[in-house]
Amino acid sequence: MSRGDNILQHVDWPTILMFLGLVVFGWLNIYAAGYNYDQTSIFDFSIRAGKQFVWILTALFMGGAILIIDEKIYDVFAYIFYGVLIAVLFITPILAHEVKGSLSWITLGPISIQPAEFAKVITALAVAKYMGRYEYSLRSWRDMVVPFALIGVPMIIIMILQKETGSALVLASFLLVFYRKGMSRYVLWICVLAVTLFIIVIRFGQSSLPLGAGSVGLFVCLLIILAILLYFVHKNNRNPKYTLIILGSIVLIYAISLLFCIWFKINFNWVTLGIILALTGYMFFLTFYFRKWTLLFVILFTLLCLGYTQACDSVFHKILQPHQRTRIEVLLGMKVDSSGAGYNVNQARIAIGSGRFLGKGYLQGTQTKLKYVPEQDTDFIFCTVGEEWGFVGSLMVLLVYLCFILRLVTIAERQRNQFSQIYAYAVVSIFLFHLTINVGMVLGLLPVIGIPLPFFSYGGSSLWGFTLLLFILLKLDAVRVNQLQ
């Protein structure tokens, strides 16, 4: 009894109140998203709002059970949970029935469960278990192999075998956890660079330079790689004047090449590639002359960037699914498809815009009632908020989410052991990722990849997943007063 009283005394009630507020308001908006004049009750179990009510009750029961269960189970059995997860993820495509091209749903009697929704919880526990070891730190690339493998294995299974891109990409949010725990900022810059190169190649790969002198996309990518290589050359050069000589030589090469374009066509992509390879050779010389073996990583990074740039087009056209390619093309302005891939986003914008400042009122959304927005009670639930509650209501919802995430940050920072703190950072990163991507895709700022809005979107698997994620953290936080510093 005293242990139960202790939990109730130390549990973070502000977070629970925000959780309950988001769940209830989300439930009301699920009802509004599917509302028609024939419906009489929000508790009608034949409609999604009624079904969501059952999911909410089970989620609350689950949250209460987590607060009672001994917290040591999450640390002790983290790897076992992870092993079971990997096995389930492998089996899922065999047992699953296809839903919109995805093989991630398993039918268990009257309900369907998406195991990928629980991957983020169990992966967070496994990562926290490994990185929470005594004196562990992310000081070298070797230290990052296991954490990257822990998130990479389920990500690959979910993305390739289950064909569920959105759920897989959620695991990329763990990069924020690694960065917070000491990972080099260069890793984040590499990720940003990879996305940038991919977008440039896809968006401008088919555009030609003046006089047919190569591809605009490839030329810009090569210039970015050249600029990065020049930075490292300058950083590792003992005599700065050599950097100026190299820059002058590069400008001279481009000027001569441009001059020769008067008589015959020169592919500037090849010119830039030649300069990069020449500088790489120079770096190779510096490596052995000054015995700076770390420069080998710069050389390898440059060669990988070149290979990646060449492979982007093949990845886009041969690996991504047709609907995924179309969504990216619509987002990048390569294709106008107001009736196909761009339909959801266009209708979402119309719905949100029609709400104006104060909204049309609860259950009064015309775009919602007429079903103009597909998936309006799942991935696009924020449209209902925008139309019926307007700018003010949408802003209030986002402010509650902001307060919720900031509260989670506070909880993370006050943890007394590494396991709890790393898990808390993972929770913050996952919720932040979901919120950013969902709202971004509804507003047309990011591609539509099927990311639910936490506690708002209809679905038992997502609600259970988020509830597990949150209440495990609340349990770990509640017992921190009994832990040594």
The residue extents of the domains of the chain are 7-187+326-482, 205-320
Per-residue pLDDT tens listing for the chain (485 residues): 345 556 778 889 999 999 999 999 999 998 888 777 666 688 888 888 889 999 999 999 999 999 999 888 999 999 999 999 999 999 998 888 777 777 888 887 778 888 999 999 999 999 999 998 877 777 777 788 899 999 999 999 998 888 888 888 899 999 999 888 888 788 888 888 888 888 888 888 777 777 656 778 888 888 888 888 888 877 776 667 777 888 888 888 888 887 777 677 777 788 888 888 888 887 888 777 767 767 788 888 888 888 888 888 777 777 777 766 776 776 676 665 555 556 777 777 888 888 888 888 888 877 776 677 777 788 888 888 888 888 999 999 999 999 999 999 999 999 888 999 999 999 999 999 999 999 988 887 787 777 899 999 998 899 999 999 999 999 999 887 665 54
Distances (CA, A) of 18 to 54, 406, 472, 480: 20, 12, 16, 21
| Burial readout 124-158 (b: 16 or more C-beta within 10 A, e: otherwise) | bbbbbbbbbeeebebeeeebeeebbebbebbbebb
Q: Buried b vs exposed e over 429-450: b needs ≥16 C-beta within 10 Å?
A: bbbbbbbebbbebbebebbbbb
Run of H or E including 112:
strand 111-113
Which of the 8 DSSP states describes residue 111? E
The tokens describing 208, both together, are: 């030609």
The DSSP string of 439-479 is HHHHTTSS-----PPTTTSS-HHHHHHHHHHHHHHHHHHHT
Q: Answer whether 365's CB lies under 8 Å from 372's CB.
A: no
Residue carrying the six token digits 């990216």:
328
Which conformational region is residue 223 in: left (phi greater than 0), alpha (psi within -120 to 50 degrees), or beta? alpha
Instruction: Report how far residue 223's alpha carbon sits from residue 202's, in angstroms, rounded to the nearest whole number.
Output: 16
Could you give the C-alpha distances from 183 to 20, 169, 471, in angstroms and in order? 35, 20, 27
pTM summary value: 0.85
Burial class from Cβ neighbours inside 10 Å (0-12, 13-18, 19+) for residue 214 reads buried
